[in-house]
Structure 1
Amino acid sequence: MKLPKSILLLLIAASLFSLTGCNAPATATPTAEPTLDVAAIKQEIYQTVVAQLTADAPKATPTAAATSTPIDTATAAAPVAPTITLPAIITVAPKSTFTAASSYTRYPTWTVTPYTDRASLSFQNPADGLVMAPGQAFDVKWVIKNIGARDWNNEFYIRYISGVKSSTFEVLMLPKVNRGGETEILADFVAPQKPGNYVSKWGLVNDDGVTFFHFNYVFSVK
């Protein structure tokens, strides 16, 4: 069996120490030959052994190889499931269930019905705006047409309302006028003495006493 180098050096050193103790001469015999310095040799051997032991120390005490712990592949490979946070539940308010009443009070719709008796001014002479002298006498002629829904009987009349009065009458009864027919009215006037603008207003009254038509005459005095 081959001994390690470090052990071999230790054995050599031990042998030298034992030789120095056992082989001491009884009597010193002078010689001219050079003597060995045993102490120096021991010191050199000691340093060599220490250096060799220091160099061989990692080899003498090998470090055991690190053992790896096998990984549990079933555990390592298993992915971690993500945590899912569910959104908050939103409660929607129900729609209004109000139902309008199927029946309610209906108010009548008023329809404007034109009055049965109607009239229009077909003709006037002189025209409005004539200039008169103070105290001048003049005549005004009106032609009125029945455009209503019935005939006018002999109870229809015209009456003075306001302004300059006629010198002939304030109330004038009319003859019968059929629907679509006309009647002529002639009145005498005298212009006032004071200069200015004047108007004579009149109304047509039916047999119910209702004034359903107005007409007038406008003139000036200078």
Structure 2
Amino acid sequence: MVFNMILTSTLETLYMVFFSTIFSLLIGFPIGILLVITKEGGILERPKLNKILEVLINTLRSFPFIILMILVFPLSRIIVGTTIGSTAAIVPLSISAAPFVARMIEGALNEVDKGLIEASSSMGASNLTIIFKVMIPETMPHIIHGLTVTVISLIGFSAMAGTIGAGGLGDLAIRFGYQRFKTDIMVYSVIVIIIVVQIIQSLGNYLVNRSKKYR
């Protein structure tokens, strides 16, 4: 009985984290690139657009996750038809993680040697070529590291989402462990979360080291 509950909740957590990671990347990755290339001195200077993106990212980052999740309830209902459950939680999780992804990508791409970008441009490389053939490959270890941190943060967010009916290990630990005074379930939930985080961090470290060898 307890094993089945832990297994089901773990799968719900992995489901939420997996899809929210994908969607936050789809949203945040291009924004991060735009933040870099549209800034002053970038390969596609657009000061006004850059300022708008800065304000948007800073605004979204300022919201505590629980508050953001409540504010996004109407959007969750429109997209998935409900505000309860793991699928509904993917919407606020993705929106909350997207600004962090954007800043992570921005920070990574800003590390690229400007001389390398100028050399590529002088040889006739297009902006898209510079972005996808020079900037991203050069900063891949930083990007993987940032992505690892994002995934681990999403695990924490998914646990918080459990407080308002999102399911997963956080929901199990609170509803069955804390509220029903079943300390063993709460302890098991925490242990599983720790194990998942350790696995993801180890995998991230492996991929970072591997990417450094093939740069």
Normalising by the smaller structure, the TM-score range is under 0.3
Structure ranking higher in strand proportion: 1
Larger RCO, structure (CA 8 Å, separation 6 or more): 2
Using the size of structure 1 for normalisation, the TM-score is: 0.24
Using the size of structure 2 for normalisation, the TM-score is: 0.25
Structure ranking higher in helix proportion: 2
Structure with the greater alpha carbon radius of gyration: 1
